[in-house]
Amino acid sequence: MKLLTKSRFKMALECPNKLFYTSKREYANNKNEDPFLKALANGGFQVEELARLHYPNGIFINTENYEYEKAAQLTQEALQNDNVVIYEAAFQFDGLFIRTDIIVKKGNAIKLIEVKAKSFNPNEKNNFIGARGGLVSSWKPYLFDLAFQKYVAQKTFPQFKFDAYLLMADKTKKASIDGLNQLFRIPNNGNPRTDIIKKVHSLKEIGNSVLSEVNVDTIVNDIIDDKYKYHENLNFEEAIITFKKAYQEDKYINWPTQFSACKNCEFKTSPEQEKDRLLSGFKNCFTKQLNWSSSDFNKPNVLQIWNFRRKNVMEENRMLMEQLTEEDFNIKAEADRIAPSERQWIQVEKAVKNDNSIYVEKEALKQEMDKWVFPLHFIDFETSTVALPFTAGRKPYEQVAFQFSHHKYNEDGTIQHQSQYINNTAGEFPNFIFARALQAAIGNDDGTVFKFATHENTIINAIITQLEESDEVDKEKLITFLKTISKSTKNQQKQWEGNRNMVDLCKVVKDYYYNPYTNGSNSIKAVLPASLNSSEFLKKKYSQPIGNILLSSQNFPTNHIWLQMDGDKVINPYKTLPLLFDNWSETELEDNISDIENIADGGAALTAYAKLQYVDMSTKERNEITQGLLKYCELDTLAMVMIYEHFKYDIIDK
């Protein structure tokens, strides 16, 4: 019999239609391919292993995922003990099945403990219940998950009293040792449930834990009693019965399409997946519910519109851009910039007309660019936040800045990959070394400094706070420098805006420029290939070896060519970054402990840095990953240079 597990219950809460697609190999599932989600999963298993040290000597219900009855039977046998700790306890009741991370039984009282890599601050009010009395949206899925677990466990064993707890990363606690993050590891191709390498076996070996336990039983009971609902038209028990029946009968539940759920649906197909004949759950829903024809899926739709939130269009079955009018956007024009509502309507107009010409507020962009002071400095940071800190004295999810790249654009048009920094030493906290290297790189002139989006400013604010709490002898000097190129966030007690506060090139794009090739995205991964496809200047320049175009590089040879074509379209340069370990022999690959193929996005970069924390990694493997990170980060700042050149030579000077 097919069982409704807690993972399927959580998925159904997002959208009940997903139950029809899950576990079917013929349907694409993009969550299986997401490198960022994989990185989060790694953090989750490490937190779970640390959590077990809080409750040692537990009985591990070691069964395969599909061995439901066996797992439930072993759990029942273990529960015959008056006092017992059980890891991955399994409960099966009337077509429902759960595994619980940890249960602690003392007599008839059982603590049901869900372990989460998610962080919380016990000193903050409204952690779970918002100011208006509802569940905080970011916690809602976790609390409903735990409510489902308690419901099934209590139904299975009504003679026991279950109380629900969360065990999570506590942002007020500091790690006592270096390398906490790497004490638990999954070997290559290993099973994350059974093949874990453990370097410690008790809490005494790590000093203070960074996890804390929180009793959420009252909230969980309120969910079960329908004080809080996930879907307003379903109470808690009705949802369980509805989802179970649909899953067991393999029935498409025909749940009404929802704007945010459909926008973020993982059951969509890419062109490559369609070539592999994978099916799209997204297309199935829209065909059945909105009566879309096959040609409709080739037309631009509302879900592609940047920052569009008018969910009523789905209720009105107006999900194609061609069905919208200007009145749908309530346009509020702003002087000398593209207002957000204007940007949305520009996107719609161009998409409907199949117009790939760029839209630009040329004079306003020129006025902005005239403010910029040479030499121009383009910088990009690579950072990491993990539940279990890499170094002693750090807190869960504290910002770690391990790398930057810096391109310098001179007034004569020469471009230098001027400097870079990376920390690949296991167990070393890099942020203050990072700050000193950044000051040495861009602190010697008054040239304008560029970032892309807000991330770099957030990181600088975090480093300033870390410096203020430190004993670094040069902290005042470093803080003074960092404040010159940044702006305080709202969390800072003292507010500032530096005289060289970084120019956000992403904001420049949003304010003055729209390129239809971006399909509404303002990510640098979208703006770069869009700029290349629209720019004759960039195509001509970057189709030549970098040694011929007044461009230096610290990581690529002088004969490297950045621009490659696929027919009449530019290949996204991020897709041309070299694979790692490409020239390694089979013997060398067998000793590889990192299991990374390439670094071409932020998720892969943070995973790579986490792997560099392995103290037992060979020098050769460490160097290979380091070189991959350096090349990826160099492209990030070169991408900013290219976008700047596109503005200058294709728009302003044209």
The reply to whether 159 and 297 lie within a common domain is: no
pLDDT of residue 360: 97
Write down the mean pLDDT value for the chain: 94
* Shared-domain flag, residues 600 and 644: yes
Q: How confident is the model at residue 33 (pLDDT cuts 50, 70, 90)?
A: low
Task: Let me know if residue 466 belongs to a domain.
Answer: no
**Residue 162 pLDDT level (bands cut at 50, 70, 90):** very high
First to last CA, the chain: 68
Long-range Cβ contact pairs of 426-430 (< 8 A, separation 24 or more): 426/179, 426/182, 426/390, 426/612, 426/613, 426/614, 426/615, 426/617, 427/178, 427/179, 427/390, 427/391, 427/613, 427/615, 428/391, 429/390, 429/391, 429/393, 429/394, 429/400, 430/400, 430/401, 430/402
Q: How confident is the model at residue 188 (pLDDT cuts 50, 70, 90)?
A: low
115 pLDDT exceeds 70?
yes
Within a domain: 477? no
pLDDT at position 617 over 60: yes
Does residue 564 form part of some domain?
yes
Query: Cα dist. 89→11, 354, 560, 616 in Å?
Result: 21, 56, 55, 34
Q: Are residues 238 and 319 in the same domain?
A: no
Does residue 349 sit in the same domain as residue 212? no
Instruction: Give residue-wise pLDDT tens across range 498-534.
Output: 999 999 999 999 999 999 999 999 999 999 999 999 9
Per-residue pLDDT at 215: 96
146-150, 321-325, 425-429: the lowest-pLDDT one: 425-429
Please state the pTM of the whole predicted model: 0.94
Same domain as 605, residue 639: yes
Same domain flag for 268 and 416: no
Q: Can you give the pLDDT at residue 644?
A: 98
For residue 124, what pLDDT band results from cuts at 50, 70 and 90? confident
At 439, is the pLDDT very low, low, confident or very high (cuts 50, 70, 90)? very high
Is 473 part of any domain?
A: no
Look at residue 427 and tell me if it is in a domain.
Answer: yes
192 — pLDDT class (breaks 50, 70, 90):
low
Q: Which of 357, 388, 405 delimits the end of a domain?
A: 357
Higher per-residue pLDDT: 389 or 131:
389
**pLDDT (average), residues 616-636:** 95
On the question of pLDDT at 571 being above 90, the answer is: yes
- Does position 125 have pLDDT exceeding 90, yes or no? no
Look at residue 633 in the predicted model and tell me its pLDDT.
Answer: 98
User: Residue 140's pLDDT is what?
Assistant: 95
Nearest alpha carbon to residue 433 among 442, 423, 424, 425: 423
Q: What percent of the chain has pLDDT over 70?
A: 97
Specify the DSSP element, H or E, that contains 288.
Answer: helix 281-289
**Mean pLDDT of the region 104-117:** 97
Domain boundary among 357, 375, 394: 357
368 shares its domain with 349 = no
Residues 27 and 73 reside in one and the same domain:
yes
**pLDDT confidence of residue 15:** 95
pLDDT-derived band at 35 (thresholds 50, 70, 90) equals low
- 283 pLDDT exceeds 60? yes
Residue range 445-491, pLDDT digits in tens:
999 999 999 999 999 999 999 999 999 999 999 999 999 999 999 98
464 is a domain residue: no
561 pLDDT exceeds 70? Answer: yes
Q: Are residues 150 and 283 in the same domain?
A: no
How much is the average pLDDT of 181-197? 72
Q: Quote the pLDDT of residue 41.
A: 54
Tally the domains of the chain. Answer: 3
- Answer yes or no: is 467 within a domain: no
pLDDT at 235 over 70: yes
Say whether both 59 and 184 belong to one domain: yes
Residue bearing tokens 């500032």: 496
* Residue 493 pLDDT exceeds 60: yes
Tell whether 318 and 174 lie within a shared domain. Answer: no
Question: How far apart, in Å, are the Cα atoms of 368 and each of 136, 361, 511?
Answer: 40, 11, 10
**Would you state the pLDDT for residue 126?**
81
Encode pLDDT of 359-376 as tens digits: 999 999 999 999 999 999
Are 178 and 122 members of one domain?
Answer: yes
- Mean pLDDT (whole number) for 83-91: 98
**Residue 298 structural domain:** 259-357
- What's the mean pLDDT in 120-126? 88
Residue at a domain's end among 248, 279, 308: 248
Confirm whether 453 is domain-assigned.
no
pLDDT tens column, 296-321: 999 999 999 999 988 789 989 999 99
Structure tokens at 607: 């995973």
